[in-house]
């Protein structure tokens, strides 16, 4: 590989030898960079263009950008020196690193404030505006051509040529006109080369990549999903349509600078008090550029209360510098920015003069959120909006937080470029915050994670770009820093003491003791099996609380097929659609149930008699205690579209309720065929919601919504009274419990069977039970196992259900004399009728006579041939004067 002649700095040209004699093919020592085998050659190749750009920016007067680039080159040099053995090459790299370091420090010493008043810039001539639009169209054409969209690229080249021609006509004679003519010629040449390809495109053989996503379930949106997306397209009273490439062409057709038809954004109170005017970028910057240098250190949060979003920008910029990838954004905004009366920008800005991307991206997100008066969020949510990377929230203070496990996950994720990490503080007193150097309820970007010399350290940035940690490994710490550790981390403590840029080192143990939350956003592009379902969640469907009955909740069946012998990881993301920016009062979660284990825990109960007009079914229950919510009992007639869950207990994963719009659940499934039921749950339902559930995996799976298989529902309200509160079958009064006759009509051919679901809702203090019994048309006085068609299992507090098909229904409480109301719900495919059966003696006169048996006097037992004293038992005389029924 060719050697790299690293340049000297402009201020000290040739004062040091270049590195042209360095052999770029040196190999790393064993045990270095375990996850990604980076060679010295790779590092030289990464450092060289940065060094060239640093010297160029320095010579052009953009010293701030140059300093950032010099620092980045020096960090790469440190990595190179770790891989080199002592010798001439090592010394050359050291000297060049020292040279760049000295220049970076000199720039810092001579720095001028970059946050001063913005200057009013004269409006650009018409030909320059046209040239800028032409260049934009040219860049879009190149992008389309790279995507092999020849027709789209040709359109953009045509637009670019037209704009360059108009600019050339208006430009003054001289070098400017000559330059525009050359650009016009270049564009027209490209367009001519492309015409033959665009008119007669060669058919492409598309080969499916191993990373191509495989979509599970229906590929087309259902009518319900389309309605959900249509409803939630209106966000903060503004409609946001899906982004398409044609939107770019529409912008190019705009006459003059684009102005957002939605108007100016609402300002925060702090902004309003200092507000001067809205100004276009061209009015406040001499040579505006969207991106000069992607760097987390150049981003500064101003008075907008969006620390979580700015922390997200910082960590995204840090990732992009490391992995050379950039997120895409698709909210349309103009380039008006708020400027104060003193002439300073009142939004997030870059310390690189003329750089726009932090301000513009912030404006796009603030528009989506309703304006600069941002109520606050968390960085996991903001990063998901910026990048689409899946958010995971780790609550450090929770008892189930595994400190060791999460550190390994973060380090491995960042090393392999699949994780972005931010952290956030919780509430603290002013004294505590000042002592620690932290800001209460504030988000911080994690720029790096290191394991060095047995220590676990994080490099963190405060979005304010000032105010730093004061504890262990801070710039003030005199106990923990050693010369070896400083060299390992390229940390200049003396420079850090003089310069508060908001960046600091902190140990992982201090993070876990002083911060509240870790947010990790995961890039799941390698998980090529995916599924997405959009659905509504109406408030009036089912009870407000699902403590006892999950049956009305949205539920999904997940069927997995894992080949080989290793388990497969499943990622489930539940996202609530946000249409109004406000305090999130909806506490939601996901529960996961293993269907196979549910069935293994069930005991077979009884079979319907084969002589019954309805087909035989299997029914089973799970015997457990009567503790509320402690178990699941189900009775199924076979499953074709998933197994619906009614009881919360026995879940494989019991979710924790949080007021976040995104809930992530991860679990592993074993090899083979497996089935799971995913149940959504709210702590309390207060309003209609819309949501999206996404699943990701490397194995094959199918995700489908479990529909309500019954088309007819009837509700009956009744109660236990003094006469009918008979208790369980262990009590003599069981025969007095409310009983109903379930009438099943004759089914038309070819329909030969149906099923019914019965749900009983009762006071939560009552352990209740519902039972279907074959009683040959008579009222049930006692229950034999052979007569039980279906039952709800053990007595349960508040709610129970059974699913079967026939005849006599008994509802009871475990204890007798428990008086109260209940609601009985019947669901089926056909119109069944439920008729109360009167208790024995209903409508008859009742008289109670009391007495007692006394041993040796009138307690003589039952009548048999050896009993001569039977007549001494108590006798009663009942005079009857007419025909009657006596019980």
Are 548 and 680 within one domain?
A: yes
Is there a catalytic annotation at residue 462? yes
Residues 84 and 60 in one domain: yes
Q: Do both 594 and 721 map to the same domain?
A: no
Active-site residue identified among 64, 393, 442, 529? 442
CB 365, CB 312: distance < 8 Å: no
- ∠ CA 275-276-281, nearest 5°, is 105
Verify that 397 and 535 share a domain, yes or no: no
Residue with tokens 């932090």: 358
852-863 mean pLDDT: 82
Please indicate, yes or no, whether residues 92 and 29 belong to a single structural domain of this protein.
yes
Q: Which of 621, 637, 644, 639 is nearest to 752 (CA)?
A: 637
Compute the Cα dihedral for 423, 409, 407, 295 and give only its sign: negative
Q: Give the model's confidence band at 431: pLDDT under 50 very low, under 70 low, under 90 confident, else very high.
A: very high
Interhelix angle 88-109/63-83, rounded to 10 degrees, is 160
What's the mean per-residue pLDDT of the chain? 76
* Residue 849 placed within a domain: no
Residues 819 and 729 in one domain: yes
DSSP single-letter state for residue 735:
G
pLDDT score at 30? 28
Query: What pLDDT, on a 0 to 100 scale, did the predictor assign at position 511?
Result: 96
Convert the pLDDT of each residue in 642-668 to its tens digit.
Answer: 888 888 878 899 988 888 888 999 999
pLDDT digit string (tens) for 178-231?
Answer: 888 888 888 888 888 876 554 444 443 333 334 455 655 555 677 777 777 767
Mean pLDDT of 300-316: 57
- 763 pLDDT band, cuts 50/70/90, is confident
Q: Considering its fold, how many domains does the chain have in total?
A: 5
Instruction: Mark whether 832 and 815 lie in a shared domain.
Output: yes
Is 241 annotated as catalytic? no
* Of 614, 612, 592, 616, residue with least CA distance to 604: 616
**Among the three residues 471, 495, 521, which one is the final residue of a domain in this structure?**
521
If asked whether residues 404 and 327 sit together in one domain, one would say no
* Residue given tokens 């009222």 in the structure block: 779
Provide mean pLDDT across the span 128-150: 81
Last residue of a domain, one of 363, 387, 411: 387
What is the tens place of the pLDDT at every residue in 588-643?
999 999 988 877 665 433 333 222 233 332 222 322 333 333 222 223 333 346 88
Tokens of 786: 């052979």
- Whether omega before 289 lies within 30 degrees of 0, making that bond cis, reads no
pLDDT range class, residue 24, cuts 50, 70, 90: very low
SS3 state of residue 165: helix
Please answer whether residues 232 and 579 qualify as being in contact, where contact means their C-beta atoms are separated by less than 8 angstroms. Answer: yes
Confidence of residue 6 (pLDDT cuts 50, 70, 90): low
The most confident of the ranges 273-282, 631-640, 803-812 is 273-282
In this structure, the number of other CB atoms found within 10 A of the CB of residue 772 comes to 28
Please tell me whether residues 534 and 550 are part of one structural domain.
yes
* Residue 114 contacts residue 285 (beta carbons within 8 Å): no
Q: Looking at the structure, tell me whether residues 290 and 429 fall in a common domain.
A: no
Residue 122: per-residue pLDDT: 60
CA distance 790 to 788: 6
In a domain, 548, yes or no: yes
Do both 692 and 749 map to the same domain?
Answer: no
**Does the pLDDT of residue 430 top 80, yes or no?**
yes
Tokens linked to 34: 């375990």
367 & 398 share domain = no
Question: Between 548 and 844, whose confidence is greater?
Answer: 548
Calculate what percentage of the chain has a pLDDT beyond 70: 74
Of 648, 628, 636, the closest CA to residue 795 belongs to 628
Least confident of 78-92, 113-127, 699-713: 113-127
Q: Per-residue pLDDT averaged across 667-672, rounded? A: 93
Determine, yes or no, domain membership for 226.
Answer: no
Establish whether 774 is a catalytic residue.
no
Q: For 749, phi and psi rounded to 5 degrees?
A: -65, 145
Q: Is residue 167 scored above 80 in pLDDT? A: yes
pLDDT category at 25 given cuts 50, 70, 90 is very low
- Domain assignment present for residue 864? The answer is no
**How does pLDDT run across 543-576, given as a tens digit for each residue?**
888 888 888 899 999 999 999 899 999 999 998 8
Residue 397 lies in a domain: yes
Residue 788 has what pLDDT?
80
Q: Tens digits of per-residue pLDDT, 472-504? A: 999 999 899 999 999 888 888 888 888 888 889
| CATH number for 686 | 2.60.120.380
**pLDDT of residue 584 exceeding 80:** no
* Domain span holding position 544: 529-601+650-705
Q: What is the pLDDT of residue 336?
A: 83
Report the CATH number that the domain containing residue 456 is assigned in CATH: 3.90.70.10
Nearest residue to 571 via CA among 660, 410, 413, 697: 697
- Does position 803 have pLDDT exceeding 80, yes or no? no
DSSP state, residue 10: T
pLDDT cut 90: percent of the chain above it: 16
Task: Report, as an integer, the average pLDDT of 516-534.
Answer: 89
Position 408 confidence tier, pLDDT thresholds 50, 70, 90: very high
**Is the Cα dihedral 559, 563, 564, 570 positive or negative?**
negative
490 inside domain: yes
Give residue 562's pLDDT.
92
Alpha carbon distance 607, 289 (integer Å): 77
Residue 97 pLDDT > 90: no
Maximum average pLDDT range among 18-27, 55-64, 383-392, 423-432: 423-432
Question: Of residues 378, 462, 601, 674, which has the active-site annotation?
Answer: 462
pLDDT of residue 347: 80
Q: Per mean pLDDT, which range of 181-190, 298-307, 728-737 is the poorest?
A: 298-307
pLDDT given at position 346: 81
620 contacts 605 by C-beta, under 8 angstroms = yes
At residue 616, the pLDDT reads: 30
* Report for 261-275, 325-339, 693-707, 790-804: range of highest mean pLDDT: 693-707
Average pLDDT over residues 867-872: 76
Rounded to 5°, angle at Cα 56 from 50 and 60: 140
Rg of the chain (C-alpha set): 37
Given 71, 74, 292, 307, which residue is catalytic? 307
Average pLDDT rounded to a whole number, residues 241-268: 68
């Amino acid at each position: 590989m060719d050697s790299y002649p690293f340049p000297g700095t402009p201020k000290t040209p040739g004062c040091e030898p270049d590195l042209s004699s360095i052999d770029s093919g040196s190999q790393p020592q064993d045990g270095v960079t375990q996850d990604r085998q980076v060679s010295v050659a790779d590092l030289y190749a990464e450092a060289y263009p940065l060094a060239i750009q640093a010297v160029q920016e320095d010579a052009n007067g953009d010293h701030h950008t140059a300093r950032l680039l010099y620092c980045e080159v020096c960090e790469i040099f440190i990595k190179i020196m770790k891989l080199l053995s002592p010798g001439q090459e090592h010394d050359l790299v050291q000297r060049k690193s020292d040279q760049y370091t000295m220049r970076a420090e000199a720039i810092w010493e001579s720095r001028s404030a970059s946050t001063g008043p913005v200057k009013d810039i004269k409006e650009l001539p018409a030909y320059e505006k046209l040239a800028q639009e032409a260049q934009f169209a040219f860049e879009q054409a190149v992008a389309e051509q790279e995507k092999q969209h020849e027709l789209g690229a040709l359109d953009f080249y045509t637009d670019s040529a037209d704009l360059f021609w108009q600019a050339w006509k208006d430009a003054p004679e001289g070098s400017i006109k000559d330059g525009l003519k050359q650009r016009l010629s270049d564009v027209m040449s490209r367009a001519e080369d492309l015409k033959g390809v665009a008119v007669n495109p060669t058919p492409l053989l598309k080969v499916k990549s191993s990373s191509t996503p495989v979509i599970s379930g229906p590929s087309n949106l259902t009518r319900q999903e389309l309605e959900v997306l249509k409803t939630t397209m209106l966000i903060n009273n503004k409609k946001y349509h899906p982004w398409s490439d044609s939107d770019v062409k529409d912008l190019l057709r705009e006459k003059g600078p684009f102005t957002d038809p939605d108007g100016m954004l609402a300002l925060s109170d702090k902004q309003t008090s200092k507000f001067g005017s809205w100004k276009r970028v061209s009015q406040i910057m001499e040579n505006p550029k969207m991106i000069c240098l992607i760097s987390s250190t150049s981003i500064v949060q101003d008075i907008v209360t969006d620390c979580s979003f700015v922390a997200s920008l910082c960590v995204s910029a840090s990732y992009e510098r490391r992995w050379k990838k950039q997120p895409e954004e698709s909210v349309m905004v103009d380039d008006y920015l708020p400027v104060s009366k003193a002439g300073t920008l009142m939004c997030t800005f870059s310390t690189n003069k003329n750089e726009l991307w932090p301000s513009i991206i912030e404006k796009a997100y603030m528009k989506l959120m309703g304006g600069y008066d941002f109520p606050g969020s968390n960085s996991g949510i903001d990063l998901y909006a910026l990048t689409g990377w899946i958010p995971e929230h780790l609550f450090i203070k929770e008892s189930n937080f595994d400190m060791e496990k999460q550190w390994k996950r973060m380090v491995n994720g960042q090393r392999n470029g699949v994780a972005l990490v931010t952290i956030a503080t919780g509430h603290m007193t002013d004294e505590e915050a000042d002592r620690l150097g932290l800001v209460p309820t504030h988000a911080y970007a994690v720029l790096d994670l290191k394991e060095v010399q047995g220590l676990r350290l994080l490099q963190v940035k405060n979005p304010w770009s000032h105010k730093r940690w004061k504890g262990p490994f801070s710039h003030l710490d005199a106990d923990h820093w050693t010369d070896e550790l400083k060299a390992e981390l390229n940390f200049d403590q003396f420079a850090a003491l003089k310069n508060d840029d908001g960046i600091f080192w902190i140990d992982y143990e201090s993070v876990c003791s002083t911060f509240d939350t870790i947010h990790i956003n995961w890039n799941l592009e390698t998980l090529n099996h995916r599924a997405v379902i959009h659905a509504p969640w109406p408030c009036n469907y089912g009870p407000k609380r699902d403590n006892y009955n999950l049956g009305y909740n949205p539920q999904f069946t997940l069927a997995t097929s894992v080949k080989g012998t290793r388990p497969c990881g499943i990622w489930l993301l539940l996202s609530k659609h946000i249409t109004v920016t406000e305090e999130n009062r909806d506490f939601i979660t996901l529960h996961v149930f293993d269907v196979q284990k549910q069935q293994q825990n069930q005991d077979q109960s009884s079979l319907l008699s084969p002589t019954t007009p309805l087909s035989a079914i299997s029914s089973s229950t799970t015997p457990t205690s009567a503790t509320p919510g402690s178990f699941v009992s189900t009775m199924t007639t076979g499953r074709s579209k998933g197994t619906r869950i009614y009881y919360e207990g026995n879940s494989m994963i019991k979710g924790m309720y949080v007021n976040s719009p995104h809930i992530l659940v991860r679990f592993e499934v074993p090899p083979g065929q497996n089935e799971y039921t995913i149940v959504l749950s709210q702590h309390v339902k207060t309003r209609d919601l819309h949501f999206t559930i996404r699943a990701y995996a490397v194995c094959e799976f199918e995700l489908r919504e479990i529909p309500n298989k019954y088309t007819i529902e009837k509700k009956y309200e009744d109660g236990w009274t003094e006469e009918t509160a008979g208790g369980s079958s262990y009590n003599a009064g069981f025969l007095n419990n409310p009983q109903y006759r379930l009438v099943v009509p004759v089914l038309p051919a070819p329909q030969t069977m149906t099923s019914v679901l019965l749900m009983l809702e009762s006071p939560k203090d009552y352990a209740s039970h519902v039972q279907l019994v074959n009683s040959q048309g008579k009222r049930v006085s006692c229950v034999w196992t052979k007569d039980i068609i279906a039952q709800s299992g053990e007595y349960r507090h508040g709610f129970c259900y059974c699913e079967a098909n026939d005849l006599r229904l008994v509802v009871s409480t475990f204890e007798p004399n428990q008086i109260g109301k209940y609601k009985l719900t019947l669901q089926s495919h056909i119109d069944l009728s439920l008729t109360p059966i009167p208790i024995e003696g209903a409508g008859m006169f009742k008289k109670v006579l009391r007495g007692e048996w006394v041993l040796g006097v009138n307690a003589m037992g039952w009548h048999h041939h050896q009993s001569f004293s039977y007549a001494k038992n108590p006798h009663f005389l009942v005079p009857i004067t007419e025909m009657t029924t006596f019980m």
